[in-house]
Homo-oligomer: A and B are copies of this chain.
Amino acid sequence: MNISKEKVLEALSTVEDPDLKKDLVTLGMIQGLEIISDQKISFKVVLTTPACPLKELIRINCEEAIKKAFGGKVEADILMTSNVTTVRNDAPLLPNVKNIIAIASGKGGVGKSTCSSNLAVALAKLGAKVGLIDADISGPSVPTMFNVEGEQPAIKQVNGKNIIVPIEQYGVKLMSIGFLTPAEDAVVWRGPMASSALKQFIGDVEWGELDYLLIDLPPGTSDIHLTMVQTLPVTGAVIVTTPQKVALADATKALTMFKQPQINVPILGVVENMAYFTPDELPDNKYYIFGQGGGRKLSEKYDVTYLGEIPLVQGIRESGDSGYPAVLKEGVMAKAFSDFAEGVARQVAIRNAASSKTEVVQVKV
């Protein structure tokens, strides 16, 4: 059989990326195509994220396109790989960081740090290069959640400037005020000092090359949030809420803050944490302790993606306290957080394909 690269590409140009709504060839996702023999070809499909939930579907669709074009007589050796997309190519600050994702909630205590930690670990586990900034200066949780309390980052000199080497755990690079101050001391700083700590975490840390840098924001909509958007163009924001009315009210405020025309950070989606409680003895009972369906309603109201719900099980809290994120274990929780991570990575890819880069906020708000 006569196989040419052109014919293979023609066949593969019938396969669409369901999220990006374009064919794989146009998207440049087919790479390294080789005609090995008249019965065997090989190529790579370069996805936009290692966390792509559609990976298997796309692989099958490629196989079927080849089969359809060459009548089942050609075997295709397909390597599914990824290269995380970015719109930050010429960024002056952190040029080697492809995507910056803010995790916000408005209200505290809704599990923002739990979601951020598990998101970071899930993305790293799937093969992405991930960093996590704990931007909660007065209540850092990341050192506990990653079981690195009391660790102190190394400092090194680069071009005469002191650079902090982030702590690395479970494949994630971490920075938190908790690494710089004793655990029991209160960091009682007015806004400008907290803001300059965040600026240091962004500019004076050796982040290197990253696919995703997550910023776990403090509750509220104040100094740290303004400093972030004035310092860095944020790729997108994830809103964490719980189902209570008071939490939804604050999540709405966080959401509208990012949507303000002068801030204009794309919303990647809303995740609902502590959606329900399930006791071991009554596995079929879902107790909607905090109410039901609020996160979904919020996402519908503001026309943003609903990233799913995370149940409240004792294991999550114990994971947080013991410093071993739930996503690293087996079971329902790991599944919930993996799905959440895939959802976020997918929305980042869609956002990068569809919209131009985020601008740093210039106006003083």
Residues of A within 8 A of B (CB): 106-110, 113, 136-139, 141, 144-145, 183-192, 194, 218-223, 225-226, 242, 244-247, 249-250, 252-254, 256-257, 260, 263, 277, 279, 281-282, 285, 287-291, 312, 314, 317-318, 320-321, 365
A291 vs B249: C-alpha distance in the bound complex, in angstroms? 28
Contacts of A141 in B (CB 8 A): 246, 249-250
With contacts A188-B221, A279-B285 taken as known, whether A244 is within 8 angstroms of B107 at the C-beta atoms is: no
Q: How far is the CA of A250 from the CA of B188 in the complex (A)?
A: 12
A190 contact set on B, CB distance < 8 A: 191, 222-223, 226
A106 nearest in chain B by CB position: B139
Indicate if the CB atoms of A290 and B277 lie closer than 8 Å: no
Residue from the list B144, B220, B285 in contact with A281, Cβ < 8 A: B285
Q: Find out whether the CB atom of A289 lies under 8 angstroms from the CB atom of B277.
A: yes
A191-B192, A287-B279, A312-B289 as given contacts; A219 in contact with B108, CB under 8 Å? yes
Specify the chain B residue showing the minimal Cβ separation from A184.
B252
Tell me the nearest residue of chain B to A321, going by C-beta. Answer: B245
Given contacts A222-B194, A317-B244, are A186 and B289 in contact (CB under 8 A)?
Answer: no
- A107-B108, A139-B220 known; A183 and B249 CB under 8 Å? yes
Q: Are A246 and B186 in touch, CB under 8 angstroms?
A: no
Question: How long is the Cα–Cα vector from A108 to B194 in the complex, in angstroms?
Answer: 17
Most buried by B among A144, A247, A249, A256: A249
